[in-house]
Amino acid sequence: MEQDRIRNFAIIAHIDHGKSTLADRVLELTGALTQREMREQVLDTMELERERGITIKAQAVRVRWRGHELNLIDTPGHVDFTYEVSRSLQACEGALLVVDAAQGIEAQTLANAYLAIDGHLEIVPVVNKIDLPQADPAGASRELGELLGEAPDRVLRISAKTGEGVPEVLDAIIERIPAPTGDPDAPARALIFDSSYDQYRGVVAFVRVVDGSFETREPLRAMAQGTAFEAEELGVLSPAHEPVSSLGAGEVGYVITGLKDVSRLRVGDTLTSRRRPAAEPLPGYQDVKPMVFAGIFPTDSDDYPELRDALERLKLNDGSLSYEPETSQALGFGFRCGFLGLLHMEIVRERLEREFDLDLLITAPTVAYRATTRTGEAVEVHNPAEMPRELEQVEEPYVKASVIVPKDYVGAVMELANERRGSFDHLEYLSEERVLLSYELPLGEIVLDFYDQLKSRTRGYASFDYDLAGFKPGELARVDILVGGEQVDALSLIIHRDFAYDRGRQLVERLRQEIPRQMFDVPVQAAIGSRVIARETIKARRKDVLAKCYGGDITRKRKLLEKQKKGKKRMKQVGGVEVPQEAFLAVLNLDSERKR
Amino acid sequence: MGHVRHLYVHLPFCAHRCGYCDFVTAVGRHDQHGSYVDALLVELTIERSVLAEPLDTLFLGGGTPTFTEATELARLLERLPVAEELTVEANPETVTPGLARMLRDQGVNRISLGAQSFQPHLLAVLERRATPADVRQAVAHLREAGFDNISLDLIYGIPGQSSTDLARDLAEALALEPEHLSCYELEAKPGTRFTHAHGAELERQAEAMESYFEQVVDTLTAAGYRWYETANFCLEGTRAHGRELRARHNLGYWHGSDYLGIGMGAVSTVSGERRRNAPGLARYVAALVQGARPPSDVELIDRETSEREKLMLGLRLDEPLVLADVADAVDRSALERFAAGGLVDLTENGRGEEISLTRQGRFLGGGVTAELLLL
């Protein structure tokens, strides 16, 4: 196909603003799928994605419309995957920016729109759901027009649900979005914008060819990572896998690599031919690093091998998940896992629990800290229990956060941001009603419950997005929790000094409630270094006897005691104290409790 | 001749089933008392070869043994083997001067009287039929008939019972100068009518009543009683006139001795085999009419289990337990932890290492024992 007949585009939309429905309608209208084959939301293949209404894995689908080849590149829709989104967008010349006619622009839409604008994409504004009774197509069009500097009449008004206006969208893609302009004769270069793992064929890379062309069986190399392999198969998705003999400049397709490890083929890397290699890779590759960390432990220590296998299998399809073995005195054997962000963590957790049927204990999430010890040694700390005690300085990651809310909630958002050590950046009226607030916040303040708090304080109206903005030194302290004088490693946390006391008190109080009374008094303490900042005592039981025991009930009483002992053996021992699993869970869930 | 020196005879009949009771009982059935006694005597004949007569102890429990038709009870007592200690359980309202004399004439030398409380409002909660006056009257009749070894059963932790109520009950009981007292905390046993009616309230009161056990022990030891088992107290020293007033029959259980039990629902432990007769009056009698053993479950008590039981039972007593006898049942690390924490005394003497619970440990005896078990 000649490049001038190719259009590569993405759809940018907030969760539930109708991206998947529009994609479905496009497939149906272009005949890529017959009505009978039609399945709701074809592009979201994983069960979990369907349930959460989000898309994790980008895929590309080729359709035909009026003599043109249109490649729809699906983008992940959440803040944690900003980098993946930016790579998907880089594979396109244009994007549909879809906004719900009743809701207007949300923070996430805005963030992705800016990504598209920064990537010099042609943006086609679309107001969706005009069939809804509460829709305000005129208002939403005005807002969108202002954002993009377009006349409101250039904003398409559609209903992806009924199909109204969708043909016009397809026409606009051809008319407004430029054709690819790569050099078909230059050494071959293709951008990897996604990858997945197939049990039988190994890593499958989704690519956009920029220059030159690729052929089946061609020896290839990923330029940033240096991984070399052979293109076992090239193909396109329409939407079924359809092998082709070559992929030319401007085209979008897949490459079956035969590689067994997704981490060897990173999103954003450039593929080239080893026969006639390109001199320079495509710009923009980043090695994405996990920023949020948590310990994951099996509730039943016998499940450790299952957890290890499950993580291995998840990792095959998720190059951004990292993990390494961790041993906690309190929780036993598990893994310290690194995630791109909170949603990523939630997704991994749910997949572990749902697809692998594991019962898990997950420690409170923490972020990556950069610590400098008194001896000048620099360490990156992913686990509070490993934070050196003798510190010169600790740096923590910051984010630039954008919040869009109706103007009545500006006060509530400011209050929350101030409580979380946010520094105000700017405020902007998107319309008469809606305000964009921008803050710089420590990521560590966001990972626990910021988003939930934001939702509850704005009655669900706020939308939120963030982007990493580097490291800054902070007045941070490591707070340890001690039970019976012994440190409970899984409960250590790193927190700003101003909050250490309150937080320590909460944890200690909660543990006092959750740990059953023992045979002895048990002190529960929170400490910074050797300084105790909060203390509670679990008073010893005063009485624990079997009232009577005679010839007729010796067996029953013995079994009762044996059962009691077995129950204790299942508990985690900390400082000679049996701490039931539930106590850890309760403490780890402190934040979710607090927000209710 | 066998080696078993303790015999338990179960008499299940009661006038009424108290709400908190989960024993094997049968209400009324006057017409069946005779055939039941016949059945008991047949069972005794079948099992008698394991007994070493004369016995150390014979215990008639229930039910309400003294609710059994007096002539049938007398016939039974006449035919039972001779024992040094012969105890019969009695409910206060059943004790008449005539009954007391009959028991005495039949060689009964110890009475365990189910007083439970001396306060009408608490007796009502327990659904006991005796009045406080009945208890005092019963003791008087027994003394008159010559009984010099009377035990009173008390229950504490009754819904609505204040600490003052408990003090009053203890004082009333002590005023009767019993040789022995058994004090049980009320247990809300699952499935009983009582738990259904009062379970929630008991849970609410649990914290307030936590100190009652200590109050019982403090009061009775101050009054000169020996706290010789978790729930049992007896006079000692000069007040006992040098007599052994611990319940010897029950000591047999606590020391892990073999015992034979006959009657419906009765349990025997003989030579590593624990046999539990099925509950159910009709089946029990029907089998023995045919001269056959009643239906029963058998549980084998291997050496490890037996040691665990010895540990569990032995730690209820105020005497030390020889560690070598229960060595395979004891979790040594737990033992050392409790010894360090002041809940267990670990001593070394001529007989080797011995363990016992400290006073503090005895209040927590259930939990401590559970943790000491090696599983």
**Distances from the Cα of B199 to the Cα of A67, B202, B345, angstroms:** 79, 5, 36
List chain B residues with pLDDT less than 50: none
Distance CA A288, CA A281 (A): 17
A399 close to A342: Cβ distance less than 8 angstroms: no
Q: List the single range of A18-22, A184-188, B49-53 with lowest mean pLDDT.
A: A18-22
Residue A560: closest C-alpha in chain B:
B370
Between chains, do A548 and B369 touch, taking CB under 8 Å as contact?
A: no
Question: Are the C-beta atoms of B88 and B108 separated by less than 8 Å?
Answer: yes
pLDDT for res B6: 98
Q: Is the per-residue pLDDT at A48 higher than 50?
A: no
CA distance A385 to chain B (A): 28
| Separation between Cα atoms, residue A302 and residue A592, nearest integer Å | 28
Indicate which of A541, A556, A561 best probes the interface with B, i.e. most B CBs within 10 Å of its own CB: A561
Exposed/middle/buried for residue A240 (C-beta within 10 Å: 0-12, 13-18, 19+): exposed
Q: Which residues of A touch B261 (CB under 8 A)?
A: 551-552
Q: State the nearest Cα–Cα gap between A519 and chain B, in angstroms.
A: 7
Residue written as token pair 């052979």: A230
DSSP B257: -
* Angle between helical axes of A581-588 and A497-514 (0-180°, round to 10): 150
Least confident of A158-167, A221-230, A442-451: A442-451
Residue to substitute from A521, A556, A563, A565, interface B, most B β-carbons within 10 A: A565
User: What is each CA distance from A467 to A81, A114, A483, A487, in whole angstroms?
Assistant: 10, 12, 38, 35
Q: Could you tell me which residues come within 8 angstroms of residue A149 by beta carbon, excluding any fewer than 6 positions away? A: none
**C-beta atoms of A561 and B373 within 8 A:** yes
Question: Do the Cβ atoms of B184 and A548 come within 8 Å?
Answer: yes
Question: What's the CA gap between A526 and B252, in Å, rounded?
Answer: 51
**How far apart are alpha carbons A491 and A137 in whole angstroms?**
50
- Among residues A416, A417, A437, A420, the alpha carbon closest in space to that of A428 is found at A437
Q: Which of B213, B259, B341 sits opposite A543 (nearest CB)?
A: B213
Q: With contact defined as beta carbons under 8 Å apart, do A294 and A339 qualify?
A: yes
- In angstroms, rounded to a whole number, what is the distance separating the alpha carbons of residues A331 and A489? 9
Which residue in A393, A387, A337, A388 sits closest to A365, CA to CA?
Answer: A337
Q: Do A549 and B316 touch (CB under 8 A)?
A: yes
Predicted confidence (pLDDT) per residue in A450-475, tens digit:
887 888 898 878 888 888 889 999 99
> Highest-confidence range of A29-38, A53-62, A74-83, A504-513, by mean pLDDT?
A504-513
Record: contact A554-B368, CB cut-off 8 A: no
ipTM of the complex: 0.94
When scoring B21, B205, B373, B374 by the number of chain A Cβ atoms within 10 A, the one with the most, hence best to mutate, is: B373
Nearest Cα of chain B lies from the Cα of A383 at a distance, in angstroms, of 32
CB-CB contact of B81 with B58 (8 Å): yes
CB-based contact A123:A145 (threshold 8 Å): no
Measured distance CA(B305)–CA(A533) in Å, rounded: 48
Which of chain A's residues have a Cβ under 8 Å away from the Cβ of B185? Answer: 545, 547
Contacts of B250 in chain A (CB under 8 A): 550
| Antiparallel, parallel or unpaired: β B296-300 and A531-538 | unpaired
Residues of A in contact with B266 (CB under 8 A): 552
Helix (H, G, I), strand (E, B) or coil at B25: coil
Rg (CA), chain B: 21
Question: Could you tell me the CA-to-CA distances from B373 to A389, B320, B326, B336, B344 in Å, in that order?
Answer: 41, 17, 10, 13, 14
Contact A519 B341 (CB under 8 A): yes
Q: Are A273 and A219 in contact (CB under 8 A)?
A: yes
The residue type found at B194 is F
User: Nearest-CA distance from B64 to chain A in Å?
Assistant: 16
Find the CB nearest A519 among B266, B316, B368. B368
Q: Tell me whether the omega of the peptide bond preceding residue B54 falls within 30 degrees of 0, making it cis.
A: yes
Residue A51 pLDDT more than 60? no
* Whether B250 and A546 lie within 8 Å, measured CB to CB: no
Sign (positive/negative) of CA torsion A535, A536, A542, A545? negative
Question: Which residue in A305, A30, A281, A333 sits closest to A173, CA to CA?
Answer: A30
Q: Do A545 and B185 touch (CB under 8 A)?
A: yes
State residue A48 phi and psi, 5-degree precision.
-60, -40
A-chain residues near B313 (CB < 8 A): 549, 554
Residues in B touching A520 (Cβ below 8 Å):
341
Q: Which of B290, B337, B344 is nearest to B320 (CA)?
A: B344
Closest chain B residue to A561 measured between Cα atoms?
B370
Best to test chain B binding among A558, A562, A571 (most B CBs inside 10 Å): A558
The strand pairing partners of A221, in sequence order, are A228, A272
Q: By percentage, how much of chain A surpasses pLDDT 70?
A: 92
d(CA A106, CA A123): 17
CA B91 to chain centre: 14
Residue A36: pLDDT above 60? Answer: no
* pLDDT given at position A594: 43
Q: Lowest-pLDDT range, A102-111, A359-368, B70-79?
A: A102-111
pLDDT above 60 for A543: yes
Q: CB B338 to CB A541 under 8 A?
A: no
Q: A-chain residues within 8 Å CB-CB of B365?
A: 544-546
- Contact between A558 and B308 using a beta-carbon 8 Å cutoff: yes
Q: Do residues A474 and A500 make contact, with C-beta atoms less than 8 angstroms apart?
A: no
Is A87:A193 a contact under the CB 8 Å cutoff?
yes
Average pLDDT over residues A216-235: 93
Flag if B375 and A548 touch (Cβ within 8 Å): no
Structure tokens, A72:
């729809």
The 10 Å CB-count burial string (b at 16+, else e) for A263-275 is bbbbbbbbbbbee
CB pairs under 8 A between A and B: 107
Q: CA triplet A278, A281, A284: central angle to 5 degrees?
A: 165
Under an 8 A CB cutoff, do B366 and A545 touch? yes
Q: Which residues of B touch A561 (CB under 8 A)?
A: 312, 366, 369-370, 373
B15 in Cβ contact with B28 (< 8 Å): yes
> Would you state the torsion angle of the CA atoms of residues A27, A29, A32, A35, taken in this order, to the nearest 10 degrees?
90
**Closest residue of chain B to A555, computed from CA coordinates:** B309
Residue type, A298: P
Distance of CA B74 to the CA centre of its chain: 22
- Is the pLDDT reported for residue A7 higher than 70? yes
Q: Which string of b and e fits A24-33 if b means at least 16 CB within 10 Å?
A: bbbbbbbebb
Exposure class string for B72-108: b at 16+ Cβ within 10 A, else e: bbbbbbeebeebebbbbbbbbbbbeeebbebbbebeb
Share of chain A above pLDDT 90, in %: 45
DSSP for A559-585 reads HHHHHHHHHHHHSEEETTEEE-HHHHH
How many whole angstroms separate alpha carbon B184 and alpha carbon B117? 11
Q: Of the candidates A542, A547, A550, which has its C-beta nearest B187's C-beta?
A: A547
What single letter denotes the amino acid at residue B309? Answer: E
Q: What is the DSSP string of A383-442?
A: SGGGS-SSEEEEEEEEEEEEEEEEGGGHHHHHHHHHHTT-EEEEEEESSSSEEEEEEEEE
From chain A, the residues in CB contact with B214 under 8 A are: 542-543
- Residue of B371, B372, B374 to mutate, testing the A interface (most A Cβ within 10 Å of its Cβ): B371
Cα–Cα dist B101/B86, whole Å: 15
How far, in whole angstroms, is CA A487 from its chain's centroid? 32
Contact A554 B230 (CB under 8 A): no
C-alpha to C-alpha distance for B195 and B202, rounded to whole angstroms: 9
Residue in A555, A564, A566 to test binding to B, most B beta-carbons within 10 Å: A555
Best-predicted range by mean pLDDT among A55-69, A493-507, B247-261? B247-261
A552 interaction partners in chain B (CB closer than 8 Å): 8, 261, 265-267
Q: Which residues are bridge partners to A404 per DSSP?
A: A436, A463
B266, A552: Cβ pair inside 8 Å? yes
The nearest alpha carbon in chain B to A521 belongs to B341
Residues from chain B contacting residue A550 (CB–CB below 8 Å): 250, 253
**Of A519, A554, A564, which is closest to B253 when you measure between CB atoms?**
A554
pLDDT in tens, A428-438: 998 888 899 99
Please state whether beta strands A369-373 and A360-362 pair in parallel, antiparallel, or not at all (unpaired): unpaired
What is the three-class DSSP state of A530?
Answer: coil
Q: How far is A564 from chain B (nearest CA, A)?
A: 6
pLDDT at A18: 80
Pick among A486, A518, A545 to test the B interface (most B CBs inside 10 A): A545
Higher-confidence residue of A405 and B73: namely B73
The most confident of the ranges A261-270, A350-359, A587-596, B146-155 is B146-155
Measured in angstroms, the CA of B98 and the nearest CA of chain A are apart by 30
Q: Are B363 and A555 an interchain contact pair (Cβ–Cβ within 8 Å)?
A: no
Q: Which residues of A touch B207 (CB under 8 A)?
A: none
Q: Which residue has the tokens 């003090």?
A: B167
- Residue B367's pLDDT is what? 92
Give the burial class of A67: count Cβ atoms within 10 A of its Cβ; 0-12 exposed, 13-18 middle, 19 or more buried.
Answer: exposed
Q: Is the pLDDT of residue A54 over 50?
A: no
Whether B55 and B85 have beta carbons less than 8 Å apart is answered as no
pLDDT confidence band for A595 (50 / 70 / 90) = very low
Q: What is the spatial distance between Cα B350 and Cα B327, in angstroms, rounded to a whole number? A: 17
Chain B hits for A547, CB-CB cut-off 8 Å, are 184-187, 230-231
